[in-house]
Structure 1
Amino acid sequence: MNPLRLVVVTAGLSQPSSTRLLADRLAEATRHELAGHGREVELHVVELRDLAVDIAHNLLTGFPAGKLREAVDLVTDADGLIAVTPIFSASYSGLFKSFFDVLDQQALNGKPVLAAATGGTARHSLALEHALRPLFAYLHAVVVPTAVFAASEDWGSGATVGSEELAHRIDRAAAELATLLAPRPGTEPSGQQDAEAELIPFAQQLAALQPR
């Protein structure tokens, strides 16, 4: 069985950044969950800060070049995606949005995506629902139910309430993504077979409704 290709897109601007830190924790948690499903992971990280100039050129020319072309291919060919952005002015960063503008409209069709974000305060957490989730829904991705937001206070040292809650959200979102990427053996095929076995022709259903 081939390893699952998991791509992490992170739009942090500083180095190091809390956005990259959150991305790494989500990737590791997902890898751990997939190991429980008996699946290996081939992990790739796309740092958008390193592609900013190429992204700007692509928006002007319409042609991704060099490392941007490689990043686009990685995301397009991925089995699953973890996308993490800092929140500026109550929405995703311009760099984050510009990268997804570069992708082909069909690149994320049916692809499982875990959306996450970082921000200075918890007030920015709503951006996950009013900005990120609609973006990926428009691109026809399958977004996991749990989106993960990390505010500055969530990075507390030790077993603080914020850090414990963040760890719980990370684990829950990773488990949801792993379930989409690697359903338990036999569950999906057998479900499909049962659905096909129970399919009754429409004419037969109409006949059954006629009075005897």
Structure 2
Amino acid sequence: MLSLLARRFGDALVQGRAAILDSWFALNLCDLYPRFKKSKTKSEWAWNSKIRDYVRGIVPGRFMRQAWFSDVDTLYAPFHMSGGHWVALVIDLKDWTIAVLDPNEGAETAKQMDLLMKPLLVLLPFIIKALVPEAHLVNHQVPREFVYDSLPEILQCEYEDDIGPLVAKFIELHFQGINHDTIPEDDFVENVRMRFAVDIFEEFVEPLRV
């Protein structure tokens, strides 16, 4: 679904200085965090090649190469919280913030959300300082941590099978500047899932014949 969006809206993303990451990005940061937290030489941490590629703008399945800060100010990424709970993240590299678009706000408590978001809030500044060329950070004061907030009035869904496609749709709506209060609720989620299925087949397998 994310590769489909990157292909379909590639020019608009480039013009808007935005890039779509994949689910591996946030997952990898969460996996690294326990070891990173114990390290006594955090500023010298050896970031793996995948994370280095992300910062350079190389994302598997994407044709565009958009490096952080030089080409991109906003990063979109899905984030698996727990169980069937996914959210969409909007990472602002200018404001050092992460906006969370959550289709199931009752799935985690505020304390659980803080714990789940902590790896991204802590690791992103270290990644930026270590991997973004200094020339691109001259006018930026990298903070100790990012901050996050959940955006209000996000369309809600309790069915786990629908949340993945809905999160991808949230990313599409956000970078197009479409508010959720304009979404017709009747059958919207089901239609999103079916539309993605058809579009992915046509894009990556073969066009459907009428």
TM-score range, shorter chain: 0.3 to 0.5
Q: Which one has the largest radius of gyration?
A: 1
**TM-score with structure 1 length normalisation?**
0.34
Give the structure with the higher percent strand: 1
